[in-house]
């Protein structure tokens, strides 16, 4: 088999001691393997051409995992032909740019998803040289390889990409780096994590807005992170997109204490996905920030 080597590095306070939650790590790496396999199957029409294996090497200050992509002998033989010369560039198509066997694309799926910033691809223009111009909401344009155009909003790609970046939505993981043996690196930061959700950019099947009061269970001071909130009967995770609220936070006008409450305008979006119904919450506006009621003194 032919091999491509790269490293996945999780960075942040949660992994500084060289340890990482096993369920979180396993889910992220399994999603990465599925991402590579699905991308290869979609672009070639063939399955079982590739296996992804792990070589662990935890380093202090991060959690560093060695990865090996094994290509079957039939794929290696095909790659040596003029027609098959680009078959092993799938890592470049994904935007990881780590394979040294062939020239990779500059803009891959990761870069295209980052450029979209949650917007939908509204139209595509195909060119004679095989490239495609993606046209996003608002009219912005980006020229990509035809394979990138095909993968960027395919749910069998976007769902494992979301799972791979899931640690960035948890406290303490600030970035994920994909590193090649020659020193090249592609990074995804926690602030970009919302762009990599599978439903990002797709129209919800239903959407509703309402007012609600939530008790803060877990908060973050980095925009884009989801707060954990409870209404007493249900706990949700929601991103706060109220710029006025964040301005008050930045200026220290908002001071938080244990079990504070927020009175909010909330939007609930729902999508049908291949794994079932998915629900996301967004805090549109924070109307009030209340302290918990104090217990009356006993006489």
Taking the domains of the chain in order of start, what are their residue ranges?
2-102+151-196, 206-290
Say which range, 3-7, 160-164, 223-227, 280-284, has the weakest mean pLDDT: 3-7
Q: 96 pLDDT exceeds 90?
A: no
Element at 204 (helix H, strand E): none
Q: Considering only CA atoms, which of 5, 72, 69, 86 is closest in space to residue 33?
A: 69
Q: 87 pLDDT exceeds 50?
A: no
Q: What is the pLDDT of residue 149?
A: 93
Classify domain 206-290 by CATH architecture.
Beta Barrel (2.40)
| CATH annotation of 2-102+151-196 | 3.30.70
Q: 296 pLDDT exceeds 60?
A: no
For 228-262, the pLDDT digits (tens) are 999 999 999 898 989 999 999 999 999 999 889 99
Q: What is the mean pLDDT of the chain?
A: 81
Beta-carbon contacts of 91 under 8 Å, excluding residues fewer than 6 positions away, are 4, 6, 36, 69, 97, 98, 99, 104
Q: Could you tell me the pTM of the whole model? A: 0.67
Name the band, by pLDDT with cuts 50, 70 and 90, for residue 99.
Answer: very low
Give yes or no on whether 2-102+151-196 and 206-290 have one common fold: no
Name the band, by pLDDT with cuts 50, 70 and 90, for residue 61.
Answer: low
Q: What is the pLDDT of residue 247?
A: 94
**What gap in Å lies between CA 284 and CA 265, rounded to an integer?**
5
Q: 57 pLDDT exceeds 70?
A: no
Q: Considering only CA atoms, which of 176, 127, 179, 180 is closest in space to residue 149?
A: 127
Beta strands in the chain (DSSP E): 2-11, 50-56, 62-71, 121-126, 131-136, 141-145, 175-179, 185-189, 206-218, 226-230, 235-240, 261-273, 276-290
**What gap in Å lies between CA 218 and CA 212, rounded to an integer?**
17
């Amino acid at each position: 088999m032919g091999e491509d080597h790269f490293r996945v590095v999780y960075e942040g306070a949660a992994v500084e001691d060289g340890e990482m939650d096993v369920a979180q790590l396993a889910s992220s790496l399994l999603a990465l393997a599925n991402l590579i396999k699905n991308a290869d199957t979609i672009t070639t029409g063939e399955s079982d051409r590739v296996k992804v294996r792990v070589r662990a090497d935890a380093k202090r200050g991060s959690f560093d995992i060695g990865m090996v992509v094994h290509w079957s002998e039939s794929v290696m033989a095909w790659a040596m032909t003029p027609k098959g010369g680009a078959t092993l560039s799938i890592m470049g198509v994904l935007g990881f740019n780590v394979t040294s066997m062939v020239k990779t694309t500059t803009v891959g799926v990761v870069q295209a998803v980052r450029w979209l910033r949650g917007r939908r691809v509204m139209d595509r223009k195909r060119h004679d040289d095989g490239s495609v111009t993606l046209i996003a909401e608002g009219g912005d344009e980006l020229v990509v390889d035809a394979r990138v155009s095909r993968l960027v909003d395919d749910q069998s790609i976007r769902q494992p990409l979301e799972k791979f970046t899931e640690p960035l939505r948890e406290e303490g993981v600030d970035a994920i780096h994909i590193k090649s043996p020659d020193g090249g690196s592609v990074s995804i930061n926690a602030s970009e994590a919302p762009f990599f959700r599978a439903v990002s950019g797709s129209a919800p099947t239903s959407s509703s807005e309402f007012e609600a009061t939530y008790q803060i269970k877990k908060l973050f001071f980095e925009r884009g992170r989801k707060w954990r909130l409870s209404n007493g009967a249900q706990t949700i995770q929601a991103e706060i997109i109220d710029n006025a609220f964040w301005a008050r936070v930045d200026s220290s006008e908002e001071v938080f204490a244990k079990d504070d409450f927020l009175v909010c305008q909330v939007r609930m979006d729902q999508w049908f996905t291949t794994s079932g119904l998915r629900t996301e919450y967004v805090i549109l506006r924070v109307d009030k920030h209340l302290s918990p009621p104090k217990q009356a003194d006993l006489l």
